[in-house]
Structure 1
Amino acid sequence: MAPRKVRRILSPFRGMKAQQALYMLKEMPHAAAMPVAKLVRSAMANAEVKGLDTDSLYIVQLMADAGSGVMPGKGWRARWGGRGRYKPIRKRSSHITVVLEERFE
């Protein structure tokens, strides 16, 4: 999924409790919400394995960077453009980073 589509849903979740963010991501109608929810859930599971309390985890950093322009296994593909030329098909991908922190209130 293109980074532009992922970035538009990330901003409200920075600084939020991870459990609350998961609940909100499940209710979002955007297609990018499911992969982000999976990542947050995975980060919470990793934190639990390391001995952190999952109820006190907050999202400190959440960002989407551009991945490669060509999808793995697809190779370079093109379609016809204007004036008899061809244009590359750009299948954009994202690298999503989630950083959680344990805070006690």
Structure 2
Amino acid sequence: MEARAKLSYARISSRKVKIVIDMIRNKPVGEAMGILKNTPKAASELLIKLLNSAAANAENNHNMDKNNLYVAEVYANQGPTLKRVRPRAQGRAFRIRKRTSHITIVLKELGQE
């Protein structure tokens, strides 16, 4: 049994999120939460909310024990890029890419692969 939570169209680059999600992969939920709370990255706030949501889904929808959960899968895929234009010297235009990402967390119970 697995519980998942997904955040779509997060206004942060997937490259920045992957730095943080590599630290919590295959960790128990409590330890992953501690790592995220002490990580000074912008992605950690989004991942704390997402991890809480996945844990709540596991408890409420799948009757899983919150103390036996671990982060089985976590990944960030690239979302659509918002393209903006910034004026530059001599009438030129410079493209600004505001990247988004789709983040998914999958929790499983220990001992039940």
Within the candidate set 76, 85, 91, 2:92 is matched to 85
SS in 1 for 2:64: coil
Provide the alpha-carbon RMSD of the alignment: 1.7
Give 4+ residue runs of structure 1 displaced > 3 Å after superposition. 81-84
Q: Does 1:101 align with 2:108?
A: yes
In the TM superposition, residue 31 of structure 1 has moved relative to its aligned partner by 1.2
Higher relative contact order (CA 8 A, sep 6+): 2
Name the counterpart of 1:69. Answer: 81
**In the alignment, residue 67 of structure 1 is paired with which amino acid?**
G
Q: So what's the TM-score if we normalise by structure 2?
A: 0.80
What runs of 5+ residues in structure 1 fail to find an aligned partner? 71-75
The share of aligned pairs that are identical, in percent, is 38
How far apart in 1 are the matches of 2:38 and 2:28?
16
Long gaps (5+) in structure 2: 1-11
1:27 aligns with 2:43: no
Q: How far 1:56 moved relative to its partner?
A: 0.4
**Structure 2 partner of 1:17:** 28
Q: Which residue of 1 aligns with 2:8?
A: none
Aligned partners of 2:74 and 2:103 also within 8 Å:
yes
| Equivalent position to 2:64, from 52, 59, 68 | 52
Larger proportion of strand: 2
| Separation (CA, whole Å) in 2 of partners of 1:84 and 1:65 | 35
What's the CA shift for 1:82?
Answer: 5.9
TM-score by length of 1: 0.86
- Report the alpha carbon displacement of residue 88 of structure 1 after superposing the two structures with TM: 2.5
Q: Partner residue of 1:73?
A: none
Secondary structure at the counterpart of residue 89 of structure 1 = strand
Structure 1 SS opposite 2:42: coil
